[in-house]
């Protein structure tokens, strides 16, 4: 990247070198991203390094540790299914290992030296099949910004977008106001070293935030965004009031058809990283989302009211739900035929793989497969979730070949409940939909059809090792930092513990667990959302096992979340404010209910891929 008024800071933690047989050693460009928002006590102490290069085949990687505060100990390379055992030289402060991209798991690696505070993410990308040039027919060269005040606004962008079919971003920095790109048969190409720095329009300063906005709203038919460039939101996340909350999406593909977004890195998002809303035929490929800055509603990749979408070979490092489907009220249509595959997730505060929360319209035929969850931090939603509370039906959902390496919370959750994002009674939603909304579970709550979990492994970490997530307090602190109160969770409103009268079923299909292996763990303390330690024999050691019944892991089978779920009310405790212990008769009724609706299978050849 050329020198300019602003360049991306090179990592001060690591230097990365690649050796390919028959070639001279090659330095891989590294740069920093922040894990936390400005003003946080650990803003500077916990960063992440991103390193990216295009290569197919074998290579030897050497990582030199430059930061003297990083101790050379407890070195881990994830995902664990990559099977990489590094050579560690503490005196030379080097870590080295071999990779071969014939194994897809070798393309996305998290190199963790001295814990998770300052990880190195190494992305070994497949070589681009089509590298665009600025002199191609129909190409429009976007001029980079020469100074901070040089900004591409909507008017300037529209002129560029109308001028040709190929929008070419050379290496450089591009200050771009939030804008909408409308047009068919368009290609964006962001060359390696191109950084688009998104910012709220000058007429809407950060102190005046009437509603979330998208950094880029892309609409049209036959549109592609390709290359190795970066979309970055840090200009706004630095300027917005703190603590940060969601101020929009970095890139929203909306009301579009036949769209491909491939090869982008998305950093420091001001909300969701990448969204497909009311679209058809979408491909998101080789997306790298990082630098989450612990922001509520910093979701990763969302497919919302969209048909026929494939999300593959992505890395999602974000602070809320990661790879998810929803149907918001404004989607006005169902989500159908979606595949997430061959990806890696580091989730810092939500659900990892999920049909999550808002489902005003139906969600059907969704698959998550061949995905590694390398870390699952923060509050206590499950790693694999069907978690809903609006009125749409969810059916034919498949989680297959998933490896959850590290979660201190629930591995799997299937839940129907009234939650804070139901928005029952909101006048603006009632006006949009043209109907009165009832929160009566007999009228409006979701129904769930068939859900299958197949070939799943879940490992439960003992605790976090970052400053931001300290060792959990006893009892749990209401935000769920270290609750560990459940491993499997299937509450439905059919059994309300005396709170809500339900007269119709909400689970109408079958929940199937096939070859689901829970690695050895020690059950932990109370968790304010899902019961007391006494309810699930807190503290007992549980050996590794396949799921074969409803009692080994002490499934929490009573009513789910209290509407006041984010913090304990002063003067109350987890024991008397949250999930009550069902009496013996009710517990028997619950087990009888679930035994008719849950199927467990373990095939003769089943064995965990990772030893306990």
- In sequence order, what DSSP letters do the residues of 531-552 get, joined into one string? --GGGGTTT-EE--EE--SSTT
Torsion on CA atoms 99, 101, 104, 110, rounded to nearest 10: 40
Distance CA 46, CA 238 (A): 17
Residue 484: per-residue pLDDT? 39
Residue, of 475 and 574, whose pLDDT is higher: 574
Instruction: Locate 517 and state its tokens.
Output: 């292996």
Distance CA 276, CA 503 (A): 36
Helical (H) or strand (E) element with 109 = strand 108-112
Alpha helical stretches, state H, 426-573: 427-433
Distance CA 218, CA 543 (A): 50
Q: Map tokens 């990582």 to a residue.
A: 63
Please give the C-alpha separations between residue 389 and each of 308, 375, 540, in angstroms, as whole numbers. Answer: 24, 26, 33
Q: What is the pLDDT of residues 130-177, one digit of tens each?
A: 999 999 999 999 999 999 889 999 999 999 999 999 999 999 999 999
Q: What is the pLDDT of residues 66-105, one digit of tens each?
A: 999 999 988 999 999 999 999 999 999 999 999 999 999 9
Distance CA 383, CA 407 (A): 7
Beta strands in 490-537, from DSSP E residues, in sequence order: 511-518, 521-522
Class of residue 91 by CB neighbours under 10 A (exposed 0-12, middle 13-18, buried 19+) = exposed
Q: Residue 443's pLDDT band (boundaries 50, 70, 90)?
A: confident
* Nearest Cα to Cα of residue 451 among 367, 381, 369: 367
Class of residue 322 by CB neighbours under 10 A (exposed 0-12, middle 13-18, buried 19+) = buried
Distance CA 420, CA 404 (A): 27
* Nearest Cα to Cα of residue 9 among 268, 240, 217, 199: 268
CB 563 within 8 Å of CB 539: no
Residue 586: per-residue pLDDT? 61
Distance CA 582, CA 590 (A): 9
Residue 406 CA neighbour count, 13 Å, CB half: 21
* Nearest Cα to Cα of residue 246 among 294, 283, 175, 309: 294
Highest mean pLDDT among 91-100, 110-119, 404-413, 422-431: 91-100
**What mean pLDDT do residues 450-477 have?**
62
pLDDT at 387 over 80: yes
Q: Is the peptide bond before 291 cis (omega within 30 degrees of 0)?
A: no
Give the pTM. 0.91
Domains and CATH numbers, the chain: 14-125 (2.60.350.10), 321-601 (no CATH)
Instruction: Locate 566 and state its tokens.
Output: 């984010």
Residue 86: per-residue pLDDT? 96
Q: Is the peptide bond before 243 cis (omega within 30 degrees of 0)?
A: yes
**What mean pLDDT do residues 171-187 have?**
96
Which range has the worst mean pLDDT, 254-258, 366-370, 446-450?
Answer: 446-450
Distance CA 468, CA 351 (A): 19
* Nearest Cα to Cα of residue 288 among 307, 311, 271: 311
Residue, of 50 and 593, whose pLDDT is higher: 50
pLDDT at 278 over 90: yes
* Nearest Cα to Cα of residue 62 among 27, 18, 30: 18
Residue 610: per-residue pLDDT? 84
Sheet holding 94-100, edge to edge: 26-28, 14-19, 58-65, 94-100, 87-89
Distance CA 245, CA 4 (A): 30
Please give the DSSP secondary-structure letter assigned to residue 144.
P
Residue 379: per-residue pLDDT? 57
pLDDT at 462 over 70: no
């Amino acid at each position: 990247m050329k020198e300019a008024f602003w360049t991306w800071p090179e990592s001060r933690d690591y230097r990365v070198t690649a050796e390919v047989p028959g070639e001279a050693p090659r330095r891989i460009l590294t740069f920093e991203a922040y894990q936390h928002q400005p003003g946080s006590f650990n803003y500077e102490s916990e960063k992440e390094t991103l390193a990216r290069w295009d290569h197919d085949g074998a290579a030897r990687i050497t990582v030199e540790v430059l930061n003297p505060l990083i101790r050379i100990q407890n070195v881990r390379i994830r995902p664990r299914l990559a099977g990489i055992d590094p050579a560690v030289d503490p005196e030379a402060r080097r870590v080295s290992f071999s990779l071969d991209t014939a194994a897809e798991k070798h393309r996305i690696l998290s190199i963790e030296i001295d814990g998770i505070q300052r990880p190195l993410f190494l992305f070994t990308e497949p070589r681009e099949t089509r590298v665009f040039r600025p002199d191609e027919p129909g190409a429009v060269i976007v001029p980079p910004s020469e100074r901070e005040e040089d900004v591409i606004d909507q008017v300037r962008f529209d002129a560029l977008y109308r001028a040709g079919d190929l929008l070419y971003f050379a290496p450089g920095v591009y200050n771009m106001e939030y804008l909408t790109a409308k047009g068919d048969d368009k290609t964006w190409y962001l060359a390696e070293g191109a950084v688009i720095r998104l910012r709220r329009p000058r007429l809407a300063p950060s102190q005046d935030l009437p509603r979330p906005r998208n950094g880029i709203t892309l609409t049209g038919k036959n549109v592609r965004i390709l290359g190795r460039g970066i979309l970055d939101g840090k200009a706004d996340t630095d300027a917005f009031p703190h603590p940060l909350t969601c101020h929009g999406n970095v890139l929203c593909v909306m009301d579009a058809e036949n769209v491909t977004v491939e090869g982008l890195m998305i950093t420091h998002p001001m909300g969701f990283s990448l969204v497909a809303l009311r679209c058809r035929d979408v491909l998101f490929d080789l997306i790298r989302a990082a630098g989450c800055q612990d922001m509520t509603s910093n979701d990763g990749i969302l497919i919302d009211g969209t048909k026929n979408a494939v999300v593959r070979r992505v890395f999602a490092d974000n602070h809320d739900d990661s790879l998810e489907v929803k149907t918001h009220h404004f989607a006005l249509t169902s989500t159908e035929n979606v595949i997430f595959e061959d990806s890696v997730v580091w989730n810092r505060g939500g659900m990892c793989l999920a049909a999550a929360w808002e489902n005003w319209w139906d969600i059907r035929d969704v698959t998550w497969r061949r995905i590694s969850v390398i870390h699952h931090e923060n509050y206590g939603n499950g790693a694999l979730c069907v978690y809903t509370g609006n009125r749409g039906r969810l059916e034919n959902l498949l989680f297959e070949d998933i490896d959850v390496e590290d979660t201190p919370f629930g591995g799997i959750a299937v839940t129907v409940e009234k939650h804070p994002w139901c928005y029952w009674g909101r006048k603006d939603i009632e006006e949009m939909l043209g109907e009165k909304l009832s929160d009566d579970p007999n009228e409006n709550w979701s129904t769930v059809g068939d859900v299958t979990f197949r070939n799943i492994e879940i490992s439960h970490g003992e605790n976090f090792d970052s400053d931001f997530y300290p060792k959990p307090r006893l009892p749990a602190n209401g935000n769920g930092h270290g609750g560990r109160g459940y491993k499997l969770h299937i509450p439905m409103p059919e059994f309300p513990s005396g709170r809500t009268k339900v007269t119709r079923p909400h689970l109408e299909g079958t929940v199937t667990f096939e070859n689901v292996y829970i690695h050895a763990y020690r059950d932990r303390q109370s968790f304010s959302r899902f019961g007391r330690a006494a309810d699930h024999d807190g503290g007992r050691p549980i050996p590794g096992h396949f799921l074969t019944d409803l009692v080994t892991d002490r499934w929490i089978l009573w009513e789910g979340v209290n509407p006041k779920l984010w913090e304990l009310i002063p003067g109350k405790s987890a024991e008397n404010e949250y999930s009550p212990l069902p009496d013996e008769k009710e517990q028997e009724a619950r087990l009888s209910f679930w035994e008719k609706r849950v199927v467990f299978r373990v095939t003769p050849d089943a064995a965990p891929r990772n030893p306990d």
